[in-house]
Amino acid sequence: MSDSKILNDKMNRSSRLEYRQVGQTDLQISAIGFGASPLGNAFGPIDAEEGTRAVHLAIDEGINFFDVSPYYGLTLAEERLGQALLGKRDRVVLTTKCGRYGVEQFDFSASRIRLSIEESLRRLRTDYIDLWLAHDVEFGHAEQIVNETIPAMRSLQRQGKVRYVGISGYPLKVLMHIAEKAPVDCILSYCHYNLLIDDMDTVLMPFAEKLAIGVINASPLHMGMLTEREAPEWHPAPLKVRLAVKEAQSFCRMRGVDLAEIALQFCLDYPRVTTTLVGMASPEEVGRNLRAYRNSPDRDLMRQIKTILAPVSNMQWPSGTLENCD
């Protein structure tokens, strides 16, 4: 890419949001998306009114992609997002999920899928979902997802209740296996492209691009690890990763920079995905995330942080059933 093209891209990004097409669909979504799981108190209690103001500010600033699930806050996130979107539904591309309803509660059967859409439509106060994802498919049986879940979702698509259909999960292998057997419009992958890991780029993206499937990158902060705070106790990353992140945190503090901002910029600077999904629950978080998007990343600083994290690069954890783990 020429220097002038890079400069123009930076100028465009500083003045407005970029919108990208989701695979072969007609959905055009902002390159930074609003992850609504915090609205369901997923990372601790929030002020519901602050959450509503965050949604409204994001829309006003051009963020049009909103992602939620019945699992987040055990339906609370859907309820709060639906309330916040009253009068603004036509300005957003709305995504929710089905199949996961609790920490250990999964049901990918056709009957539950049909019930799930009605429940989500009611909570979200809308009569259609733009993009509907089977949630954390690695906890189900791949053959059921292929032969029962996705066909049920496509049936509801034909009824006009959803516009497009996709899958989400952590292990890349099962996501690609399912998408190869049962064509989907989009794949949401989390914790596979950020400062700690980049196998989305080498494994998932070539597959998705070949089939023209849209890809959403979620958890750019590695589920809260790449911040100034301690990683949550429940975080599944190995101890080696936690220790390496502590070193990166110290490095950033010494230089007066925010690790979370650098980590977010690293992901937002990646052009191959359709959008990067970032959790937000307050106007301050919306503003901070948009500043990270609009400011030019310090590539030298990123390289130094990547060097610190290199010994634990691409370390993963098991998720889902044994047959579905990478």
Instruction: Decide if 5 is inside a domain.
Output: no
Rg for the chain, CA atoms, rounded: 19
CATH number, residue 43: 3.20.20.100
- Number of domains the chain contains: 1
pTM of the model: 0.93
Per-residue model confidence (pLDDT) at position 75: 98
Instruction: Decide if 1 is inside a domain.
Output: no
CA distance 32 to 17: 8
Instruction: Decide if 10 is inside a domain.
Output: no
Instruction: Decide if 326 is inside a domain.
Output: no
Instruction: Decide if 8 is inside a domain.
Output: no
CA distance 303 to 109: 46
Cβ proximity of 264 and 222 under 8 Å: no
Cβ proximity of 275 and 28 under 8 Å: no
Q: Which residues are catalytic?
A: 72
Cβ proximity of 221 and 252 under 8 Å: no
Per-residue model confidence (pLDDT) at position 231: 79
Q: How many CB atoms neighbour CB 11 within 10 A? A: 11
Instruction: Decide if 321 is inside a domain.
Output: no
Per-residue model confidence (pLDDT) at position 9: 47
Domain that holds residue 34: 18-316
Cβ proximity of 195 and 263 under 8 Å: yes
Separation of first and last alpha carbons in the chain? 34
Bridge partners for 189 per DSSP:
169, 217
Across the 326 residues of the chain, what is the mean pLDDT of every consecutive 10-residue run?
41 70 98 97 92 98 98 98 98 98 97 98 98 98 98 98 98 98 97 98 98 98 91 88 96 96 96 97 97 93 97 95 87
pLDDT digits (tens, 9 = 90+) for 37-48: 999 998 889 999
Per-residue model confidence (pLDDT) at position 279: 95
Instruction: Decide if 312 is inside a domain.
Output: yes
CA distances (Å), origin 74, targets 71, 173, 198: 5, 28, 31
Instruction: Decide if 149 is inside a domain.
Output: yes
For residue 27, which phi and psi values (nearest 5 degrees)? -80, 130
Cβ proximity of 132 and 153 under 8 Å: yes
